[in-house]
């Protein structure tokens, strides 16, 4: 995908990769006042259930390593149809993840549990947003359901 608009057919979305970046393995324990009490497993189940309503399946990965996330995006090419990504802190500076995502042909939805624009100044910039169809932020776990809706509704 080059740029931020996916021009494909949403009926072709059958496999989605959900990527979680650094520290998101600690969801439910780390700063629940910011990120909520739901765990990564809870968010995965929510997303899997939402995709199932569209006949799509979910693959997931979480890594605290930028290189592993880049590798996962490379391996997703030609295998999955869309990516939902919460890159965590990598959102703000990982040009390597940006470039990997830019090479992915399907739609990409960026998700954040909190609203980075309402937090510390260093969180105000996303290097992921320019290669994403859109960004959903500040709605907690509902953001993952909204990401699925965005994948299937943006062209209808």
Residues labelled catalytic: 35, 112
User: If 0-12 CB within 10 Å is exposed, 13-18 middle and 19+ buried, where does residue 100 land?
Assistant: buried
Nearest CA-CA partner of 92 in 126, 132, 131: 126
Are 144 and 109 contacting, i.e. CB atoms less than 8 angstroms apart? no
Sheet containing 82-86: give its strands across: 57-62, 15-20, 82-86, 108-112, 134-137
Contact partners, residue 96, CB within 8 Å, separation at least 6: 66, 67, 70
Name the residue with tokens 């994948």. Answer: 151
Question: CA–CA separation, 93 vs 41, rounded Å?
Answer: 26
């Amino acid at each position: 995908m080059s740029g931020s608009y996916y021009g494909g057919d949403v009926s072709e979305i059958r496999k989605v990769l959900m990527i979680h970046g650094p520290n998101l393995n600690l969801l439910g324990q780390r700063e629940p006042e910011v990120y909520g009490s739901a765990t990564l497993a809870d968010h995965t189940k929510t997303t899997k259930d939402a995709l199932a309503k569209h006949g799509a399946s979910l693959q997931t990965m979480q890594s605290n390593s930028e290189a592993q996330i880049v590798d996962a995006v490379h391996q997703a090419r030609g295998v999955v149809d869309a990516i939902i990504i919460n890159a965590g802190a990598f959102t703000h500076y990982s040009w390597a993840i940006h470039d990997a995502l830019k090479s992915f042909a399907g739609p990409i939805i960026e998700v954040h549990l909190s609203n980075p624009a309402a937090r510390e100044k260093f969180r105000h910039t996303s290097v992921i947003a320019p290669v994403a169809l859109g960004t959903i932020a500040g709605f907690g776990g509902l953001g993952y359901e909204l990401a699925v809706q965005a994948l299937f509704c943006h062209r209808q």
